[in-house]
Structure 1
Amino acid sequence: MEYSFRHSMRGRVRLSIPALGHNRRLAETFLAWLNAQNGIRSARINYDCASLVLEYDPAQETLLRLLLDRVKGLSLAEIKAFCAEAVQAAPSSARAKEASKQSPLALPTLSLAMAFSANPVVIALNMPLMLWNAVPIARRAWKVWANEKRLNIDVLDTLAITSSVLQGNPLAGCIVTWLIKLGDWIRDLTAAGSRRAISELLEFQTKTAWIKRDGAVISVPAAELAAGDLVVVYPGEMIPVDGEVIEGQATIDQKTITGEGLPVNRGKGEAAFAATVIREGQITVRALRVGSATTAGQIVHLVESAPIGDTRMQNHAERFADRLVAPTLALAASTAAVTGDFNRFLSLVIVDYGTGIRVAAPTSVLSSMTHAARAGMIIKSGGHMEKLADVDTIVFDKTGTLTHGTPAVLDILSYQKSITPGHLLGLAAAAETRLQHPVAEALRTRARQLKVNIPACNETTYRIGLGVEGQVNGYYVHVGNERFMRQSDIAVGHSASDRAALDERGYSSLYIAVDGELAGLVPYSDEIRNESRPVIERLHALGIRSSIMLTGDNAVVARAVCRNLGLTEHFADMLPADKASVIQELQRSGRRVAMVGDGINDSPALSFADVGIAMKHGAEVTHESADVILMEDSLWKLVKAVEISQGAVRLIRQNYGIVAILNTLALGLALPGGLITPEITALISNGSAILASMNGIRPILRYQ
């Protein structure tokens, strides 16, 4: 049976196996065999394109390769016979393990049902089953003791279950076990839902696509698309590439990538993203990125490679709960010794603050991280999410973050009556024809917009850091900064008032001289994002006390931008090392700092910040340095990331409140004796973990 790898990432692989598309019975047998193998978490087949998607334990990758190599050389008949025999001959323990994995509540539920029986035979059969269900809990308790020499909350759970067995009262122990398993199952279900929600972003790779080739539109597997292909997408279809719309118009649902609630209209010249769906219309897209290089692929890679991470809140709460274990044991033992009532001992050791904390915190973090990813932000761990919720200072790089990163010519001020502004712009653009820096490109762009003639340029000389001079259409032209003009003995005094006004507005100026006399000024500016000011206002409303800008621009420009945007502070003339120093100085003063940037020069500052946040179009090293990545080129995603992080912390605190209040209630009712039975104590105490877990999954439900 031949196969080929179509897509692979850690823990997930997609194979093309043509035979599976032709023989459904063989495919189902092969699927059953794969699901029975250790290390395989899930396996599914897309029959339309004969592809197999495997999710596996990354630690078992070598075993997976051996499994696939084992069947590669067999014929289809041999494959079918081998798989059927292997599935049938699988040890009963392995099948039981698989069944347990698929339905982890099956055995605890059976044991709980048997606990209600008064039949001595059923009771005798239930005892070993009950202890078997408790083995993982006891194993966790032993692992903590063996590694850290401390008692944790699993000790109380194990003791409660064992005591109920010895007392001949299995019902209490069965309730405890069932509720613990239910909490673990909810946590695992949330994790699976998170993986499923993220892996759905790669669904476009399992489909077919329509491309224009040799004058015809043909169907090909989406996995075979390449950059440069012209992809035709019809209504109801999923866009399989990131690219530029070159023909047509469509209404596109982009919720999976950008988090936008409503479909958006996209036409010629605009961007389209893989994993988004066309609701109306038809477009042709030139593929720029395919497969794992798409925005969707990057989101999946970043989420799957990011640890959930423990939060400080969870660590502190778990440690506090574990410190209560010894006092709880002492209280239970002394109470039982004084009263002679073993039921009171059992009720007290059942009180369990730790299980709710252990289950509810990861559930809240997982669901919030998934919510963030589906809304267009990658938060790399629960710890980073907690830190982001706690920041009081956000530091912005200016260029490419608060601004678009590309300068634009704003006006042309002419000082010579014989030279019109258009003529002056044409001379300046001609002088900078051979230069590639952003300001030269801004001059050429403005000339094209105004349809200004750019004359032929003779030999020019470029002065690094100053400007350019040379012959243009019979004129001798200087284009550069004020320092260049003064060094060239060109008087600029009569432009002082204009320059002061431009500086006040935060604009930079380019001087143009013709035949040794100042002919005009060209103000230009790196265009500020429309959303920058409202985003900063919203961040202040969310509790961010300080908003600071770092820039390599001069102090005059920096001050004007700072005032226009409502920032609280700014630092000008910054080098990369200077930016990192500012971050460290802020931290030494007690600030909790987030840094937002997009360039390689921002990487040191991102690394030193409590939370580093990278813009979508940032350099690869910037993404590596950052703790949060905004997957859409909009600062509103920063606001959303802060809101989700603050919401996650509130959710964790709510859950801890649920756990603390209900367990304290159970403890208060169990201590006097006779008020509640061990069974009721188990329902109140362990039920708090279930309630907290259900509360914790609310964020992910918004995107189901």
Structure 2
Amino acid sequence: MKFQIFLTKHTNQITLATGVLIVLGMLSKYLLNFTPGYTVTLAVASVIAAVPIAVRAFSALRNKVFSIELLVTIAVIGAFVIGEFNESAIVTFLFLFGSYLESKTLQKTRTAIKGLTDMSPTTATLVTDSGTEEVDVDDVDEGDVVLVKTGSQVPVDGEVVEGSGYLNEASITGEARQINKQLHDNVYSGTMVENGYLKIKATQVGDDTTFAKIIELVEEAQDTKSKAEKFIDRFAQYYTPAVLVLAALVFVFSRDFRLAITVLVLGCPGALVIGAPVSNVAGIGNGAKRGILIKGGEVIDTFAKVDTLVFDKTGTLTEGNTAVTTMNTYTDHVADQLGLAAAIEGVSDHPLGQAIITYAEKQTTHTAPTLDDTETVKGQGICAKVNGQSIVIGNQKMMTAHDIGLTPKQAHDLNALQSAGQSTVIMAVDGQVQLIFGIADTIRPEVKDSLAALKAQGIKRTVMLTGDNQLTAESVAKELNLDEVHANLLPEEKVEYVKKLKADGNTVAFIGDGINDSPSIANADIGIAMGSGTDVAIDTSDVVLMQSSFPALVHAHGLAKKTVLNTRENIFIAIATVVFLLIGLIFGYIYMASGMFVHEASILVVIFNAMRLINFQTKFDKRQPAMKSQPATA
């Protein structure tokens, strides 16, 4: 074991020494005309280079794996038997040098992980009863308060309990823009305080932080194999023994030992084995650099085949920053009823409810009433009891369920708001409608162009599923040129639509906020979360768009299609190389050393081809302002 570790650590030096010995041998023969020196030098070079290869082959055999190194080892032994030291030296050198170049180029495709890991905070300033104390980040517990000043990293996920400042959240979203954080705002580990100071109460620490999960996710994704990789792994298990059998048959029928050894050398399936993994690693790295987390090669395969995109509305197609624009009143006690509505909505985190709370805070200073009892009806609204009164607040479906009717005037007002594309919330007290809120949510400015770009990339169908009313949903769908819209849906009804689309033969991607829509995200062929790294988004979805950006969605889809194409190109290059070498062997213009050179060259070709994915951009990307990214996420 120690010997193997030593060889692994010094493989680059062994490769260099082998190359130097080969050059010295050539000089000995062609400049000094000293053939014995040439033979001895190349024999020594062969032995030195063959040792690490043979050790790897033996290690693989112990695990019942027939590796490429086994083919090379047998080929070198054969070359020694026939006295072709020049062939064995060149073959082993090219193999080691190819491995060196392969490892160097692969490192470039893994820069996303390295950049993220380098951004991981290592220390924290812990606030104690006696002041502050610098501690290792692993020593911070949930509930502790840490101090973060200008120029420092946030070491935990938590809530701001004192201070304010501007944070650069590039490590989370991939977008290098400053976000103002104030009292009670949530902050994430790995982000940088550009200006100000914050005291943060830790809610998640260590490996539980969003940043740590992102790193883990990218690492796991780059190790998750695509269908092409799984096929190639199975293929390689049978291919190596097949080449050994073929070489044996060649020797039996031709009695040409040199030819049999050449078959072994040319039979190394290096380019085929490395082609698919390096494409997926490069593609996933490209996405991570832009705040797009793709969970592995299999996700890439499926995403590339998606033909139907299904969207949630609020917070996905729209900004999610809803505000009350109209309040129709049917009571003389408006302030009291508005305070009552805000108090009841306080038990919910729905965006429409939050808009009512914000509006009420600006309109009235009344003390919030005490709620005796509340019941949330998913997808409809809230029932409550206050001082013996029965209050129902929610959508039209909620009113119908409680046999609450609207007067002609109220129905007209409601229809006018919905026709204007506004979401509506109705509040009734003891069966009588008191307030109707009109709440607007603006469409994301980049959505329309992004959807057109997705159609140009091969998406055939766009569908919106929303719990909002039909008129509002249709207004948004018309603005965005969506193919279908279904409104007034409960979460379970959205899931049924997704299942129906899949049953009809469509490959479906569902794009939502990763929390309310997690059942639909989980049931789609590809689940895509638009959100800044919530736990549910990361755990449930296949793709996480940390920027909540539609241009990022266009890039992710284009990247998936390009990565699959790149994988196919690499497989074609590998197979074409094998065919070329076999034909060359038959017609006599390919020999052991030249064949090994072509073999190693083919490995580098597929790696360099995959590396093109690192800087991949879609046509839509090129029309956008330069995507901001930091070295930390590169």
**TM > 0.5 between the two?**
yes
Letter of the structure 2 residue corresponding to residue 567 of structure 1: L
Secondary structure at the counterpart of residue 411 of structure 1: strand
Letter of the structure 2 residue corresponding to residue 411 of structure 1: T
Distance of aligned partners of 1:614 and 1:263 in 2 relative to their CA distance in 1, 3 Å threshold:
closer
Could you list the per-position Cα deviations for residues 52-100 of structure 1 after superposition, in whole angstroms to 9, with x for gaps in the alignment?
xxxxxxxxxxxxxxxxxxxxxxxxxxxxxxxxxxxxxxxxx72x42332
Q: Note the C-alpha offset of 1:168.
A: 1.8
Q: Note the C-alpha offset of 1:545.
A: 1.9
Letter of the structure 2 residue corresponding to residue 687 of structure 1: A
What is residue 31 of structure 2 aligned with on the other side? none
Say if 2:337 is the partner of 1:430: no
What is residue 597 of structure 1 aligned with on the other side? 512
Distance 1:158 1:622 in 2: 48
Letter of the structure 2 residue corresponding to residue 103 of structure 1: H
Alignment check: 8 A CA contact 1:183 1:693 kept: no
Distance 1:632 1:139 in 2: 48
Distance 1:539 1:530 in 2: 16
Q: Note the C-alpha offset of 1:569.
A: 1.9
Distance of aligned partners of 1:170 and 1:477 in 2 relative to their CA distance in 1, 3 Å threshold:
closer
Say if 2:13 is the partner of 1:99: no
Alignment check: 8 A CA contact 1:272 1:285 kept: no
What is residue 446 of structure 1 aligned with on the other side? 359
Distance of aligned partners of 1:166 and 1:609 in 2 relative to their CA distance in 1, 3 Å threshold:
farther
Q: Note the C-alpha offset of 1:158.
A: 5.2
Letter of the structure 2 residue corresponding to residue 373 of structure 1: A
Alignment check: 8 A CA contact 2:465 2:489 kept: yes
| Identical-pair percentage | 27
Distance of aligned partners of 1:257 and 1:341 in 2 relative to their CA distance in 1, 3 Å threshold:
same
Letter of the structure 1 residue corresponding to residue 312 of structure 2: D
Q: Provide the TM-score with structure 1 as the length reference.
A: 0.69
Distance 2:555 2:432 in 1: 53
Q: Note the C-alpha offset of 1:688.
A: 1.2
Distance 2:549 2:246 in 1: 57
What is residue 40 of structure 1 aligned with on the other side? none
Distance of aligned partners of 1:577 and 1:155 in 2 relative to their CA distance in 1, 3 Å threshold:
farther
Say if 2:178 is the partner of 1:264: yes
What are the within-5 Å matches in structure 2 for residues 28-427 of structure 1? 94=2, 96-111=3-18, 113-114=20-21, 117=25, 118-119=36-37, 120-122=39-41, 125=44, 128-129=47-48, 131-135=50-54, 138-139=57-58, 157=72, 160-186=75-101, 188=103, 198=113, 201=116, 207-210=122-125, 219-226=134-141, 227=143, 229-235=145-151, 237-243=152-158, 247=163, 249-250=165-166, 253-260=168-175, 262=176, 264=178, 266=180, 268=182, 272-277=187-192, 281-288=195-202, 289-306=204-221, 308-316=223-231, 347=262, 349-352=264-267, 354-403=269-318, 408-414=323-329, 424=334, 426-427=336-337
Q: Provide the TM-score with structure 2 as the length reference.
A: 0.75
Distance 1:495 1:607 in 2: 40
Could you list the per-position Cα deviations for residues 141-172 of structure 1 after superposition, in whole angstroms to 9, with x for gaps in the alignment?
8689x68xxx9877764554444333322333
Distance 1:605 1:431 in 2: 30
Secondary structure at the counterpart of residue 394 of structure 1: strand
Q: Note the C-alpha offset of 1:307.
A: 6.2
What is residue 687 of structure 1 aligned with on the other side? 601
Distance of aligned partners of 1:578 and 1:486 in 2 relative to their CA distance in 1, 3 Å threshold:
closer
Distance 1:585 1:306 in 2: 29
What is residue 625 of structure 2 aligned with on the other side? none
Could you list the per-position Cα deviations for residues 118-149 of structure 1 after superposition, in whole angstroms to 9, with x for gaps in the alignment?
535445545554553442575588689x68xx
Q: Note the C-alpha offset of 1:559.
A: 3.0
Alignment check: 8 A CA contact 2:270 2:599 kept: no
What is residue 89 of structure 1 aligned with on the other side? none
Q: Note the C-alpha offset of 1:297.
A: 1.4
Q: Note the C-alpha offset of 1:686.
A: 1.8
Secondary structure at the counterpart of residue 482 of structure 2: coil
Structure 2 gaps, min length 5: 26-35, 616-630
Distance of aligned partners of 1:225 and 1:315 in 2 relative to their CA distance in 1, 3 Å threshold:
closer
Q: Note the C-alpha offset of 1:634.
A: 4.1
Distance 2:503 2:384 in 1: 48
Structure 1 gaps, min length 5: 1-92
What is residue 541 of structure 1 aligned with on the other side? 456
Alignment check: 8 A CA contact 1:206 1:221 kept: no
Secondary structure at the counterpart of residue 300 of structure 1: helix
Alignment check: 8 A CA contact 1:172 1:682 kept: no
